[in-house]
A and B are shown apart, each in its own frame.
Chain A
Amino acid sequence: MAISRRAILGGLPAATAGLMLGRPAAAEPSRVVPSTGVRVPVVGLGSWITFNVGDDPVLLDQCAAVIAAFAEEGGGMIDSSPMYGSAQGTIGHGLSRLGDRAPIFSADKVWTSAPREAPEQIARTAQNWGVSEFDLLQVHNLRAWEAHLDRLVAMKSEGRLGHVGVTTSHGRRHAELERIMRDQPLDFVQLTYNALDREAEARLLPLAQERGIGVIVNRPYRRGALIDRFAGAPLPGWAAEIDAQSWAQVLLKFVISHPAVTTAIPATRQVAHLRENKAAARGPLPDAALRRRMAADLARL
């Protein structure tokens, strides 16, 4: 039987469902989605590549363990897309093992050039997750965004959807994204932002704050490449100031300390990495001065 994900969040309207989040993770900061007042833990969970495991029972169990640990650590946003192979089904598999009140903010996407295919795709996505409604649906990579956005806004106004958003990645199509952010009624925008990919700082992040749009950050580690890049180097002295125990925590703290960022969605299939990500959110975060220093130092390394 399909479960209403928003019902899992407490059987409450989306505007208050987020208050259920963060149960055991008292110290993990959460951020308010400006348009709805929902609070979302600042570290979420992505699913690109890591959760695309087909029907491999061993890897499905690994992913389910990550999702269980995520819920145990306070939960938050899990993000996927029809483009991510079997990732949606993997999430559904993991969620089916959780209790009815798992603190998950369900986020997925519409990914098709043919707007008429969207309803069927959304229905299939919900079936894969095992939910009847989503907290957030986004237009993937701005693909056919006008028609999809109209549909998603209509779904939201009918009470069948919590939030509406659009996504980009790898810093692509930022000019078009900026126009959409100015003109359209968005709850969320998803974009790439990390210590070395900082183009969003110039216009998009300030615009999101100005327009009251929540920001989801993808590729906080550039798919692990940033962690690999810094791996051999000792942690800088300022890492101790923010209780960062690893490069992953340094990089994640940099991302989530930007005041415009609502949540970052690093992906992993390792429970230890998931817990490391969640721990990064609980400790102190850098202030604006330290962020500038971090950015300068990391660019030099």
Chain B
Amino acid sequence: MPTWPSYSPRDFLMFGPEVYWRLFELQNRALWPLPVLAGEAGVACLLLVISGRGPALRGAVVLLAVACLGAAYFLAARYAPINWPAGHAAWGLAAQAGLLALVAVAGRPELAGSGRRFASLPGWGLLALATVLYPALGLAAGRPLAQAEIFGLAPDPTAIACLGLASLVAARRHAIALAVIPALWCGASAATLLTLGEAQGWVPLAALALWGSGVAAALLQRR
């Protein structure tokens, strides 16, 4: 008789919440003052997307590509030693960086037009959440600022920023290609955090829902 039906998500957890949140503190301290620069890069990324066209947008995509490499480093160097599947996820985010670089160099990224303003709202929300609000989530949950998850260094805000950009770009092939890996990551992270008993798991889940609503709205407007 197969034993797999007897497993629950909790059985696959190899670590506790304290260890997980301290990973960010260890990384932030080890790379200081890079976390400050990364936070500023996140805001810059948001502003570049807001400015909207041509080289500015391309710069934002390049920043996101670098951010994905930073998040991949976290997964490989910090997270994988306590949770080996994170090593595979690191390759996923590295691949995402490659996709973003490809879009920046060869894809001529453009934002969706004003006709899709309503469908764009989730994208802007996701970008703002990832680059501005995310470092404060830990504080709100009672964790120290030293454990802040920062765009470009932590995987969740970085993946959510990617979902935001994917919601805003005009070309459907870009929207799809840029969303797959971050959507998978958000699902995995939400499952992990919720299984750990951490309410913050609802944030990547909400991000997924927001992204899904943007996709649905875009599809409806195209009909």
List residues of chain A with CB under 8 Å of any chain B CB: 48-50, 52-56, 58-59, 83-86, 170-173, 223
Contacts and interface: CB of A to CB of B under 8 A. Distances in A.
B116 interface: no
Nearest to B16: A49
A50 B16 contact: yes
A285 B78 CA distance: 44
B114 interface: no
Given A50-B16, A54-B23, A172-B3, A86 B82 contact: yes
A56 B15 CA distance: 13
Contacts of B82: 52-54, 85-86
A223 B18 CA distance: 16
Contacts of B10: 223
Contacts of A171: 6
A172 B6 contact: yes
B16 A85 contact: no
Interface of B: 3, 6-7, 10-11, 13-16, 18-19, 22-23, 26, 78, 81-84
9 contacts: A49-B13, A50-B16, A53-B15, A54-B23, A54-B78, A54-B81, A55-B26, A59-B19, A59-B22
B26 A56 contact: yes
A54 B81 CA distance: 6
A82 to B, nearest CB: 10
Given A85-B82, A85-B83, A52 B15 contact: yes
A170 B14 contact: no
Which has the most chain B C-beta neighbours within 10 Å: A53, A55, A84?
A: A53
Contacts of A59: 18-19, 22
A199 B16 CA distance: 28
Nearest to B11: A170
Given A85-B82, A85-B83, A86-B82, A53 B19 contact: yes
Contact of B19 (A48, A54, A83, A173): A54
A49 B6 contact: no
Nearest to B83: A85
B143 to A, nearest CB: 15
Contacts of A53: 15, 19, 82
A292 B19 CA distance: 39
A227 to B, nearest CB: 15
Contacts of A85: 14-15, 81-84
A62 B191 CA distance: 28
Contacts of A84: 14
Nearest to A141: B3
B76 to A, nearest CB: 12
Contacts of B3: 172-173
Contacts of B11: 170
Contacts of B18: 59
A172 B8 CA distance: 13
Given A54-B78, A85-B84, A86-B82, 7 more contacts: A49-B16, A52-B15, A54-B19, A54-B23, A85-B14, A170-B11, A172-B6
Which has the most chain B C-beta neighbours within 10 Å: A48, A52, A54, A172?
A: A54
A294 to B, nearest CB: 26
Given A85-B83, A170-B6, A58 B22 contact: yes
B13 to A, nearest CB: 7
B79 to A, nearest CB: 8
A192 to B, nearest CB: 11
A178 to B, nearest CB: 14
B22 A52 contact: no
Contacts of A50: 16
